[in-house]
A and B are shown apart, each in its own frame.
Chain A
Amino acid sequence: MSTATSSTALAPLQSILDRVAAGVRLDRDDGLALLACEDLSLLGELATLVRDRKRPERVVSYIVDRNINPTNICVARCSFCAFDRLPGDPEGYVLSHEQIFAKVDELLAVPGVDERLLARGGVQVLLQGGHHPKLGIEWYEELFRALRARYPKLHVHGLSPSEIVHVAKLSHLDVATVVRRLAAAGLDSIPGGGGEILVDRVRRAIAPGKAMTDEWLGVMREAHAQGMKTTATMMYGHVETHAERIEHLLRLRELQHESLARPAAPGRRQGAFTAFICWPFQPGGSELELPRSGANEFLRMNAVARLMLDNFPHQQTSFVTQGDKLGQLALFFGCDDFGGTMLEENVVSAAGTQCLITIQQIEHCIRAAGFEPIRRNMYYERVDA
């Protein structure tokens, strides 16, 4: 494709530009045209337009959180994963409650983490792990109850849809019951992990042991119906086509549309996606031998997602996979949130990628980009003012 910027090269995009400017929803073909667009600054400018509408204040938020991976034992056998261990592997582990508490205590000891932040829901743990063949609903209920008893104000963001489907199967329960019981035990919100690409062809190829598309979306639909907030992710840059990336975005947009149309139950929040996060497949240590998708693609993917997901309020940048420099640049390609502070990360780092940065660095990146850094909770309420 010729990339010299000329008015003729841009002509097919003019109608998309006009519709973005007018706030008209883009369709599948628009998404494909945008994914093929090599004019990065144009995509950046369009995505910034939408980002600024969604968040007119010159702020970029982040949440003080940490990752806890309770187990790496997993029977899902995803070909892109370097973190998982099969049952019986000497490197497999399951964390005890004490080990998990110790990790929470580390988070609470972070400078600036205080009662006030905690009271506003501004301190979060992200609990995600493998599909352990023996850890059923009781194990998770006990863990969440123990966490709630010991840390009543800690926000527990945990168990991706695929883990919930796994627990449901293991415990012979339906998803609605699992979500209800986990929420009652102390689960506050559900992360969008394991979204990968929400197209069964792709899931069969790279993650056959995980929830299929309708199951993944089904968990989110149920969580939203029960008044829970969730997030959505996308891992691109492996075996998927451009059309499948757009299909992924459209499925998310559809579900969000459905969830936003459902009135919130009295006294409860409206269940919906709060944010979208995407990152490229990280080669290294996994079975998939593919070249690493680059920076231009990361920024383009973010811009296209921001343009297509017009009903998603927020978009997070993935500094953990991209580093601080590109993590910051994504703020000019549709992102308005720096995600969580993480403290520890074991999954992408198992594939040789780890770009953890400190809270200070996060705030510096945000300020240097011309925004005010603010701390938020999972509901995107400001917790530091």
Chain B
Amino acid sequence: MTPGAPSVAPELASTTHELRLDGRAALLPGGHDARLRAIEECVRGGGRLTFDDGLFLMRTPALHRVGRLANWVREQKHGDRAYFVVNRHLNPTNFCVYDCKFCAFYRRANDPNGYRMALDDVRRMVRDEFERELTEVHIVGGIDPKLPYSYFIDLLRVIKEERPDLHLKAWTMIEIEWFARISKKSIEEVIDDLLAVGLGSCPGGGVEVLSDRVHAEIFPDKLSPTQWLDTARRVQEHGVRMNATMLYGHIETDEELVSHMVQVRELQDATHGFMTFIPLAFHPAHTELAHLPGPTGLLDLRTIAVSRLMLDNVEHIKTYWIMQGIGVAQVALRYGADDIDGTVVEEKITHDAGATTPFGVTRTELIRLIREAGRTPFQRDTTYSRAAPV
């Protein structure tokens, strides 16, 4: 006790708030609290939240109640673990014929800032620059019509020749569908070709928001929501595991975000092929949507938490710090995320859109940040089949 201080601070004494713990807290106006309690009971009882529940969670001011519940689910599934993978991104080309308003990475044909990596350069890069500690390469690029189908197959082959130990997480559904078109093969035949040269899994990008309205408005050239879901289903049914992303913080509504989560959840019920769900924070700078403010920290954190609560059948929720920012990512480890992607030595797409996060974080720094969040760092492989504390 401070000398001379009263035992009750007079300015605090008049409260009538009731404070309890673990879903028993009551700090909210009427009706709201009852709804939150019902949701908390549902989740703790192993039930499934509805679309309306998800929408309520996206809008309630009770950030900490939502986060607390998401954290409970996260700890039920993964305890104190915070997973990370030592990986590297490879963006073989930035030429792209698709016109997506949220993208600052793509270049049109003849743009002097466009690039296209020759396979020899890829080989040299893998040989000379890829650290021994890497376990995964994340490979995505533009839709570049100058590159033949064989390039995309050979690129994987070249990397595997140099580093057979690496897991190749390559090509989004957008690219897989493009490959099918230019090769006049089926999705399944394309997957067979890729598996033959060492494809390990598929990244979850390119889906953006599963909404026909948003699709028509800002990424009309890419697969429609129905096409993306169909392609993802076929890829997964053909034995390839993958992730799913969700680009938020642009023109989408709360309803569209929750609907996206529900659609991914429904496909997962059928396929069980999604490993991780990754909310991606939109970065407006240098895009055609540069007039938008982009998501705030609250939306970042809430999206992580609500994703954890809605996607009860997806094992992992990842915070991608390159886009959310290293600070939000660290906090997210207590608001529903169990995986933090960050050991990225080189990352181009978001930095073209003005991301001010550092280009890479060292393994030591990442481990320190995980520990500071009160989590135990677990280094994993791509499919989470091997994970060990560091």
- In contact, B68 and A42 (Cβ under 8 angstroms): yes
Q: Which of B15, B80, B297, B324 contacts A22 (CB 8 A)?
A: B15
Residue of A nearest to B299 (CB): A368
A23 to B16, CA, bound (A): 10
CB distance from B277 to the nearest CB of A (A): 20
Q: When the two chains form the complex, which single residue of A10, A39, A49, A332 contacts B27, counting CB atoms closer than 8 Å?
A: A49
Residues in A whose Cβ lies below 8 Å from that of B369 = 294
* Cβ–Cβ contact A254 & B3, under 8 A: yes
Check: B334 CB closer than 8 A to any chain A CB: yes
A326 at the interface (CB under 8 A from B): yes
Q: Beyond A329-B331, A332-B298, is A21–B1 a contact (Cβ under 8 Å)?
A: no
**What CA separation (Å) do A41 and B65 show in the bound complex?**
8
In the bound complex, CA of A267 to CA of B321 (Å) = 54
Pick the contact of A49 from B19, B68, B325, B327 — CB < 8 Å?
Answer: B19
For residue A38, which residue of chain B has the nearest CB? B374
Q: Closest chain A residue to B20 by CB distance?
A: A17
Give the docked Cα–Cα distance between A22 and B300 (Å). 33
- Give the A interface residue count (CB, 8 A): 61
Separation in Å of the B304 CB from the closest CB of chain A? 12
Q: Contact between B368 and A291 (Cβ–Cβ < 8 Å)?
A: yes
Q: Which of A1-59 contact B (CB under 8 A)?
A: 1-5, 7, 10, 14, 17-18, 20-25, 27, 38-42, 44-46, 48-50, 52-54
Asked, given contacts A21-B19, A42-B21, A296-B334, whether A257 binds B4 with beta carbons under 8 Å apart, the answer is: yes
Tell me whether A20 and B19 are in contact (CB under 8 A).
Answer: yes
Contact A41:B21 (CB < 8 A) given known A48-B27, A325-B328: no
Cα(A310)–Cα(B1), bound, Å: 13
Q: Which residues of B contact A3 (CB under 8 A)?
A: 75, 80, 374-375
* A25 adjacent to B17 (CB under 8 Å): no
User: A49–B25 Cα gap in the complex (Å)?
Assistant: 11
Asked whether any CB of chain A lies closer than 8 Å to the CB of B7, the reply is yes
Q: A4-B80, A296-B374, A310-B11 are in contact. Are A41 and B335 (CB under 8 A)?
A: yes
Decide: A257 near B5, CB < 8 A? Known: A44-B63, A310-B11, A368-B299: yes
B224 CB–A CB distance under 8 Å: no
Instruction: State the Cβ distance, B20 to closest chain A Cβ, in Å.
Output: 8
- The answer to whether B9 and A41 have CB atoms under 8 Å apart is no
Contacting pair B327 A369 (CB below 8 A): no
| A10, B20: Cα distance in complex, Å | 11
Q: Does B8 contact A (CB under 8 A)?
A: yes
Asked if B79 is at the interface of the complex by the 8 Å CB criterion, the answer is yes
Contact (A364, B19) CB under 8 Å given A5-B75, A50-B12: no
Q: In the complex where A41-B68, A44-B64, A50-B12 touch, is A299 in contact with B331 (Cβ < 8 A)? A: yes
In whole angstroms, what is the CA distance A4 to B75 when docked? 6
Q: Which among B4, B27, B327 has the highest number of chain A CB atoms within 10 Å?
A: B327
A196 at the interface (CB under 8 A from B): no
Q: A364 vs B298: C-alpha distance in the bound complex, in angstroms? A: 12
Chain A residues with CB under 8 Å of B328's CB are 295, 325-326, 329
A328 and B298 within 8 A (CB): yes
Q: Mark B61-95, 1 if CB is under 8 A from A, else 0.
A: 10111011001100100011000000000000000
Contacting pair A325 B296 (CB below 8 A):
yes
State the Cβ distance, A356 to closest chain B Cβ, in Å: 12
| Residue A361, interface by CB 8 Å | yes
Query: Shortest distance in angstroms between B322's beta carbon and chain A's nearest beta carbon?
Result: 14
Task: Give the distance in Å from the alpha carbon of A278 to the alpha carbon of B345 in the complex.
Answer: 32
A323 close to chain B: CB less than 8 A: yes
A48 touches B64 (CB 8 A): yes
CB neighbours of A257 from chain B (8 A): 2, 4-5
Q: Is the CB of B22 within 8 A of A310?
A: no
Contact A23 B64 (CB under 8 A): no
Task: Give the residues in chain B near A38, CB-CB below 8 Å.
Answer: 334, 373-374
- Give the chain B neighbours of A46 by CB distance below 8 A: 19
CB neighbours (8 Å) of A326 from chain B are 297, 325, 327-328, 331
B347-378 residues at the A interface, CB under 8 angstroms: 365, 368-369, 372-375
Interface residues of B in 312-333 (CB under 8 A from A): 324-328, 330-331, 333
Name, among B9, B71, B368, the residue most crowded by chain A CB atoms within 10 Å (CB to CB): B9
B19 near A17 with CB under 8 A, answer yes
Closest to A332 in B: B63
A253 to B65, CA, bound (A): 30
A36 to chain B: closest residue by CB = B374
CB distance from A270 to the nearest CB of B (A): 14
User: Cβ of A67 < 8 Å from any Cβ of B?
Assistant: no
Question: 10 smallest A-B Cβ distances: which pairs?
Answer: A23-B12, A38-B374, A325-B297, A295-B327, A21-B19, A310-B9, A41-B64, A45-B64, A329-B297, A368-B296
Interface residues of A (CB under 8 A from B): 1-5, 7, 10, 14, 17-18, 20-25, 27, 38-42, 44-46, 48-50, 52-54, 250, 253-254, 257-258, 291, 293-299, 310-311, 322-329, 332, 361, 364-365, 368-370
30 cross-chain CB contacts under 8 A = A3-B375, A5-B22, A14-B21, A21-B15, A24-B9, A25-B1, A25-B2, A25-B5, A25-B8, A27-B2, A38-B334, A38-B373, A41-B68, A44-B64, A48-B64, A253-B5, A257-B5, A294-B369, A296-B330, A296-B333, A322-B327, A323-B325, A325-B324, A325-B325, A329-B328, A329-B331, A361-B293, A365-B296, A368-B298, A370-B61
